[in-house]
Structure 1
Amino acid sequence: MFFARLPLTMTGVTLTLYVVSDLGRGYGEAGIVGAASTLGTALGAPVLGRCIDRYGLRPVVAACGAASAAFWFAAPHLSYPVLVACALPEGLLCMPAGSLARQILTALVPAQQRRTAYSLDTILVEATFMIGPAAGIAAITALPATLVLSGLGVLFGLTSLLTYLQNPPIRDEGEPAPAGVTRPPLRSWLSGRLAATLLVAAGAMFCLVGTEVATLASLRSHGDGGWTGLVIVVMCAASMLGGIVHGGVRRSLPQGVLVLLLTVLVIPVGLLEQPWWLLMLALIPTNLACAPTLAATTETVSSLAPPAVRGEAMGLQDASTRLGLAAGSPVVGFAIDHASPAWGFAAAGLGGLLLAALGMLWTLRDRPVKFPALAASVRARR
């Protein structure tokens, strides 16, 4: 699944540079293509998860692999309007490598060790984001676009084929196979706590993508753009270190505390913009909470979702993170355009905190009464 995620992390920058350089369009028009693909992925993740729950892994992986390979082989031969039109269905049928990896880990790993497994998975996600975008930029700037985009099609097809042949389990040994499972009603498992966890995941991703945008804007505004790569690597390394600690301890902080640390610690970063190395150091504390927050939300989703709908629940988690990503960039970008990069950090933290707070309030609303005897006496008097 690490290799299945790699081409996914390469597509954004590769497609953007292709639209700008080879098709002669602007960055805004390139963003439309990316937004259509992201929207398709957000809409398709829970649907594909539900199909996995019902039909099993192989049919879904085969269909997604064929669709992705076909799109990327055809992309260099499409005009811009056709490329935009095809981006949405491409996102809809993109193999849900993230949610699928978490579903497989849930089936393979005992419950008491899942936090460690989810932390390791999140660490590997950080590794793909350290490798994929850089590899995509290097490829599209040094090689013909047709070769690069077709190469992405080969990668998508190959990783889908390997996943199909490996056919990892999506249920543990004590759970029935997809064919013998009756799907429970949506209201019976999409509880307030699960919905709150999805909001926490969206808030975390809003904060993370907003922090990246603000970091890039801050470095460029002070003429330190050449240090961007090093700063991003240090941010990813801090997140990986946090994931190692989160997965290694016996008892970790709950997801509410983790997302609070993630969002609050980034708000004052704008006060430490200069010099660039001070900004880099200021970003370490918030990124230490990045991987633990994402791993904690996965742990909560896996514990709340029944096995029969685990794929759909993991797909909803994917959709919530995608929506957080889609909202974070324009909101933080607006704050930067109308104020300064320093306010971008504040917008990233406050926006993520708002979404997470809505989720935590939802959890408190559904919390049972702590004093049942007192509650019973009150009802009796009524």
Structure 2
Amino acid sequence: MGGMRLEPYRHVFALPGVLRLLAVALLARVPATAVGITLTLHVVGNLHRGYGAAGLVGAVSTIGMALGGPVLGRLVDRRGLRPMLLLTTAGSAVFWAVAPVLPYPVLLPVAFLGGALTLPVFSVIRQSLAALVPQQHRRAAYSIDSMSVELSFMAGPALAVVILTNTSAPATMWGVGVALTLAGIGLYAFNPPVHSAEEHAAAGAPAGRHRVLTPRLVLVLVAVAGATFVLAGTDVGIVAVLREANQLSWSGVVFIAWGAYSLVGGFVYGALPRPWSPLVLMTLLGLCTMPVGLAGEWHWLCLLIAPAGFLCAPVIASSSDTISRMVPASVRGEAMGWHGSALTTGTSLGAPAVGFVLDRYGASWGFALAGIVGVVVSLLAIVVVRHRSGGATPPGGPADPAPAAIAVAAPAAAPAVAQ
């Protein structure tokens, strides 16, 4: 880890409001990470439907979140944070209050609406970090944020399962609803800034939609979706490997190891002296994911998943940092909404696609598919970036500040991530 520095983290934590924001983020994200497993167990255990039916509820909810994210982000850009928090907190409260008593055919459309009005905790925190943290320290800030997400995913689903096994699915759903409502109220009371003082002073008329989805931003969003495709496929693949080996009871150990690797990787990435392109990180993530399917036992799985695990948090942190720099502050909320949509889209595509291959060809081919998709998407994006940068001069302005934001990282930086 030569060249790694801790000063960036000290600078971030010393900034006013950052530590409080990160603490609120960790607490608010725990119930958000429990949503998927809670809905799945409710449909399977309480409504007595199959996993396919549960997956359909998750899919329509995810589609709602993907479509609603940019709209909610634009609402923040135009009206401020609190009106959006009022809308989504009320929407989440109503959905989780009625969902446990709805029959399955009614639950499907309601889950779509509930997804569209889901409290966008992840996007709000990332937008607020961009307002609180100067650009030179955002990489460290988003690395901390990615590590916080990992901790939330370690805690949220596990807590949901514990509560459900000791009470009931409806009680767990109502508990998730109460926790999300409290998270919304807490964020409303905290009211973290979404623009810095300098951005407020320089603010003019909101930029049009065409200023948000620039070609470069679309490339980063595609890369983000590709990355979460890989991660969702890995999630399913781990379960498949352990089921084939009759070692499903070790799944908790493997998932904890995977999360721990990601935490370490995020910490190292934020402390490195030079940034890495999300496209390069995603290429490495795909390459490191391919051989994981060769594992036949849980201990080999823990070992083979380590290289890809180290790259999980850096990929998300790098994409968040890049997007925060690529758009003007006036449309940052919508851009972060698109970022959240890309994350959920990749996840919703990765699990069923890899699952299809797992069912027919085995675990090794499932991991191979996940890795290949990640590598192909990232390499295509790199080729497009190089082509556009080598041709006409990219358009100027705050929405497209520098081709270096998503350009390929210099070879000199390679040893740092490898260590």
Give the TM interval when normalised to the shorter protein.
Answer: over 0.9
Contact map agreement 1:116 1:247 (CA 8 A) in 2: yes
1:122 aligns with 2:146: yes
| CA shift for structure 1 position 181 | 4.1
1:191 aligns with 2:238: no
- Once superposed, what is the RMSD of the aligned Cα atoms? 1.6
1:336 aligns with 2:335: no
The equivalent residue for 1:65 is 89
| CA shift for structure 1 position 253 | 2.7
What SS class does the counterpart of residue 175 from structure 1 fall into? helix
Residue of structure 2 aligned with 1:213, choices 232, 236, 247: 236
C-alpha distance in structure 2 between counterparts of 1:315 and 1:327, whole Å: 18
| CA shift for structure 1 position 189 | 4.2
1:253 aligns with 2:276: yes
TM-score normalised by length of structure 2: 0.85
| CA shift for structure 1 position 82 | 1.1
Contact map agreement 2:220 2:279 (CA 8 A) in 1: no
1:310 aligns with 2:310: no
Q: 2:26 is matched by which residue type in structure 1?
A: F
Q: 1:362 is matched by which residue type in structure 2?
A: V
Contact map agreement 1:207 1:348 (CA 8 A) in 2: yes
Q: Identify unmatched segments of 5+ residues in structure 2.
A: 1-24, 394-419
| CA shift for structure 1 position 323 | 0.7
Q: 2:46 is matched by which residue type in structure 1?
A: D
The equivalent residue for 1:74 is 98
Contact map agreement 1:267 1:345 (CA 8 A) in 2: yes
The equivalent residue for 2:17 is none
TM-score normalised by length of structure 1: 0.93
| CA shift for structure 1 position 230 | 0.3
- Cα 1:83–1:270 shift into 2, 3 Å: same
What SS class does the counterpart of residue 94 from structure 1 fall into? coil
Q: Deviations over 1:61-89 (max 9, x none)?
A: 01100110111111111111111110001
C-alpha distance in structure 1 between counterparts of 2:92 and 2:204, whole Å: 29
The equivalent residue for 1:348 is 370
1:32 aligns with 2:56: yes
Q: Deviations over 1:20-72 (max 9, x none)?
A: 11111111111111111111000000010000000000010011001101111
Contact map agreement 2:242 2:297 (CA 8 A) in 1: no
| CA shift for structure 1 position 185 | 2.5
C-alpha distance in structure 1 between counterparts of 2:61 and 2:304, whole Å: 33
Aligned length: 369
Contact map agreement 1:192 1:366 (CA 8 A) in 2: no
The equivalent residue for 1:374 is none
- Cα 1:189–1:30 shift into 2, 3 Å: closer
- Within a 5 Å distance, the mapping from 1:133-212 to structure 2 comes to 133-176=157-200, 181-212=204-235
Q: Identify unmatched segments of 5+ residues in structure 1.
A: 372-382
Contact map agreement 2:71 2:337 (CA 8 A) in 1: yes
1:224 aligns with 2:247: yes
| CA shift for structure 1 position 16 | 0.8
1:363 aligns with 2:363: no
Residue of structure 2 aligned with 1:290, choices 309, 312, 317: 312
Identity among equivalent pairs (%): 42
Contact map agreement 1:202 1:352 (CA 8 A) in 2: no
- Cα 1:75–1:200 shift into 2, 3 Å: same
Contact map agreement 1:18 1:140 (CA 8 A) in 2: no
What SS class does the counterpart of residue 174 from structure 1 fall into? helix
1:2 aligns with 2:26: yes
C-alpha distance in structure 1 between counterparts of 2:382 and 2:115, whole Å: 30
Contact map agreement 1:199 1:358 (CA 8 A) in 2: no
- Cα 1:181–1:60 shift into 2, 3 Å: farther
